[in-house]
Amino acid sequence: AAQIAYADVLLVTKSELAGEPETRDAIEAARALAPRAQLLRGSTENHAAWLEQVLADPDVEHVPAEPHVHDETCRHPDSHAHGVDSTWLNVEGRIDLEELEDQLTELPGNYVRIKGIVRTSDDDWAAVHRVGLRVSSEPVRRQPGNIVGENGRIVALGTNLDSEKLANCLRAAYVK
């Protein structure tokens, strides 16, 4: 029951062996324990293919840039010069960390790297990371006040980024 309750994804296999009524009952019981988990029905082969696709590095369109020389005067006033966008937001409030991770997972593959430091719902600090489509977090051992002040901050790198999509992730995760 604990594995199901904490699952992000529920994979249903061998339903043809159990029969439709039994499978339906099992799915209803699982849904009661994990109402927000993604539920996929299929064969082991289908699930393996899905998992490989989820874990694969996302396709990122590379936009060729003008040749650029890095030297001591380089200031990168235009992030598009390298074909990579960036955007960042202050995180002004406490965050439901699990909800933020879910929200960041839903962003499209053009958000290649996301990192941030946020104040959690229990008033601790956590570092949040997304590389490709994988999201993780861990507690920050010391107060990051000298790094980010009272607020946290989140930064995204990728192509054709929309800061409003990142802001929507935060809005959904703020503790009310």
Mean pLDDT of 171-176: 92
CA–CA gap between residue 25 and residue 99 (Å, rounded): 28
CA–CA gap between residue 67 and residue 46 (Å, rounded): 44
CA–CA gap between residue 158 and residue 111 (Å, rounded): 5
- Predicted pLDDT of residue 59: 64
Q: Residue 2, SS3?
A: helix
Strand partners, 138: 127
- Predicted pLDDT of residue 77: 47
User: Which residues contact residue 102 at a Cβ distance below 8 angstroms, ignoring those fewer than 6 apart?
Assistant: 8, 36
Terminal alpha carbon distance of the chain: 29
- In tens, the pLDDT along 5-57 reads 888 888 998 888 989 999 999 999 999 998 888 888 999 899 888 888 877 77
User: Which residues contact residue 37 at a Cβ distance below 8 angstroms, ignoring those fewer than 6 apart?
Assistant: 4, 7, 8, 9, 10, 30
- In tens, the pLDDT along 107-123 reads 988 888 999 999 998 88
User: Which has the closest alpha carbon to 30: 54, 46, 8?
Assistant: 8
* Token pair for 42: 């299929």
Which pTM does this prediction carry? 0.55
Given the structure tokens 């430091």, which residue do they identify?
117
Mean pLDDT of 93-114: 92
- Predicted pLDDT of residue 65: 53
CA–CA gap between residue 82 and residue 64 (Å, rounded): 7
Provide the b/e sequence for 21-36 (b: ≥16 CB within 10 Å). eebeeeeeebeeebee
- In tens, the pLDDT along 50-93 reads 888 877 776 655 555 555 555 555 544 444 455 678 899 999 89
- In tens, the pLDDT along 117-153 reads 999 988 889 999 998 878 999 988 765 555 555 788 9
Provide the b/e sequence for 96-119 (b: ≥16 CB within 10 Å). bbebbbbbbeebeebbbebebbbb
- Predicted pLDDT of residue 80: 45
- Predicted pLDDT of residue 62: 54
